[in-house]
Amino acid sequence: METPRDTSAPPSDPQPSKGSQSAAPNLAGSSPQRGGSSLSDSGRTGRRGDAIFKFASSGSGVALLVIMAAIAAFLTVRAVSAISADHGNFLTTSDWQTQADPITFGIAAIALGTLISAVVAMVIAVPVALGIALFISHYAPRRIAQALGYVVDLLAAVPSIVFGLWGALFLVPHMIGVNAWLNQYFGWTYIFHQNEPGTQPRSLFTVGIVLAIMILPIITAVSREIFLQVPRAHEEAALALGATRWEMIRTAVIPFGRSGIISASMLGLGRALGETMAVATVLSPSYVINLHILDPAGSTIAQTIANQFGESQGTGRDALIAAGLVLFVITLLVNGAARLIIARRKEYSGADA
């Protein structure tokens, strides 16, 4: 990925463009085209290109909205039919018995498990990702930075099932010692207490670690790009005032990139919330509310859907779709919250312009 410092020219620059269309529609008429062609002539072709481009881009936008609305409508219709057949409270029941009689299911345990695993992943991944991004953008020699950036991007291309298999076959056996240590010294925190010490650590904590590795490349790549865009003048000003490199990063780079960091984290969080195969491979799911994150218990929404879809029919399948709707809503809320935070910081950092 090339550095974004060589960004496109400011809008006022009358850059001669070869084609008839220009990225900014209101500028189309002002750019002289094909050498000596008259203004009115270029205006006509510009307008045609304009129309095409406008149609294509607004068409894409509308198509996306239509697709999202269709997904939401589909999920809602199926979810409503499932929830009306539910004999438990959909929001507070933790069990998931869609094939028993009476049908009882609820999202309490799976929604909680989804959030726990995502939070664990974020707690681990965000600091590490920011460290990597800062190293690439401000500390590493240019050649190493490029290679490292490439490797991090490569990590994003590894299929999730591979992370899952790695987690199940390698990480889980190696987590036994870590879990025992955490249980012994941090068991008093309640969350690191193990109900049955010595069980296989196919737990939400291990899942969180696998998810952390999976979301690392997204957060790193996005925040690296943000850090590279910090105006050099800000950095040089900070250095000129006698700041050390760390102080320069703290006072110039991080504040500038804060909203970008939040966006990057939200992208990572979105992936962590929705991750399916890696979780299904690593976790030993159960439908109980258990805040001891080292116990092989708990489950996530996406993993539940993946595990049960093949053998479920009718209401059972609709119930899974209802769970999917909940995940949809959670993701929406998370994204909305992120946008709110970014909007509040907009005037300071200049992001979201």
Partner 1 sequence: MKLQRNGRTKALAIGALAVVSSLTLAACGSDNNSNSSASSSPAAGGSSAAASSIACSGASGQLLGAGSTAQANAVTQWVKDFQAACSGVTVNYQATGSGAGITSFQSGKVAFAGSDAAMKPADVAKTEGTACKSGGKGINIPMIGGPIAIGYNLPGVSNLVLDAPTLAQIFTGKIAKWDDAAIKKLNPTATLPSLPIQTFHRSDGSGTTANFTAYLAAAAPTDYTLQPNKLWAAKGGQAANGSAGLAAQVKQVQGSISYFELSYATQQNITTAQIATGASAPVAVSTDAASKAIADAKVTGTAPDLTLDLTSAYTTKADGAYPIDLVTYEIACDKGNAPATLPTLKAFLNYISSTQGQTSVASLGYFPLPASLQAQVKTTINGLS
| C-beta closer to partner 1: residue 43 or 155 | 155
| C-beta closer to partner 1: residue 42 or 175 | 175
Contact call for residue 198 and partner 1 (CB under 8 A): yes
CB of 9 to partner 1, least distance (A): 9
| C-beta closer to partner 1: residue 131 or 350 | 350
Chain Cα centroid distance, residue 273? 8
Task: Indicate the burial class of 241 (C-beta count within 10 angstroms; 0-12, 13-18, 19 or more).
Answer: exposed
Task: Say how far apart CA 254 and CA 349 lie, in whole Å.
Answer: 10
Identify whether 285 is preceded by a cis peptide bond (ω within 30 of 0).
no
Task: Say how far apart CA 80 and CA 322 lie, in whole Å.
Answer: 7
Task: Say how far apart CA 282 and CA 201 lie, in whole Å.
Answer: 9
Torsion (CA) 128, 133, 135, 136 in degrees, nearest 10? 140
Task: Say how far apart CA 33 and CA 294 lie, in whole Å.
Answer: 66
Q: Name which position in 308, 318, 321, 330 contacts partner 1 (CB under 8 A).
A: 308
CB of 68 to partner 1, least distance (A): 12
CB of 245 to partner 1, least distance (A): 21
CB of 275 to partner 1, least distance (A): 7
Q: Is 97 helix (H, G, I), strand (E, B) or coil?
A: strand
CB of 311 to partner 1, least distance (A): 3
Contact call for residue 337 and partner 1 (CB under 8 A): no
Lookup: tokens for 326: 């909940």
Contact call for residue 300 and partner 1 (CB under 8 A): no
CB of 236 to partner 1, least distance (A): 16
Contact call for residue 24 and partner 1 (CB under 8 A): no
Contact call for residue 312 and partner 1 (CB under 8 A): yes
Contact call for residue 331 and partner 1 (CB under 8 A): no
Alpha helices in 95-171 (DSSP H): 108-134, 142-155, 160-166
Q: Name which position in 159, 170, 333, 340 contacts partner 1 (CB under 8 A).
A: 159
Helix (H) / strand (E) containing 96 = strand 96-97
| String marking each residue 226-245 x if it binds partner 1 according to CB under 8 A | x--x-x--------------
Task: Say how far apart CA 94 and CA 286 lie, in whole Å.
Answer: 10
The full DSSP string for 262-311 is HHHHHHHHHHHHH--HHHHHH----SS----TTSS----HHHHHHHHSTT
Site for partner 1 in 106-135 (CB under 8 A): none
Q: Name which position in 97, 103, 140, 258 contacts partner 1 (CB under 8 A).
A: 97
CB of 24 to partner 1, least distance (A): 11
Task: Say how far apart CA 84 and CA 315 lie, in whole Å.
Answer: 10
Q: Name which position in 41, 196, 236, 247 contacts partner 1 (CB under 8 A).
A: 196
Contact call for residue 285 and partner 1 (CB under 8 A): yes
CB of 222 to partner 1, least distance (A): 5
Contact call for residue 33 and partner 1 (CB under 8 A): no
Task: Say how far apart CA 189 and CA 197 lie, in whole Å.
Answer: 16
Helix (H) / strand (E) containing 104 = strand 104-105
- Residues at the contact surface with partner 1, assessed by CB under 8 A: 1, 4-5, 7-8, 10-11, 96-101, 156-157, 159-161, 164, 173, 196, 198-200, 202, 218, 221-222, 225-226, 229, 231, 260, 263-264, 267, 270-271, 274-277, 280-281, 283-286, 288, 296, 306-314, 316-317, 349-353
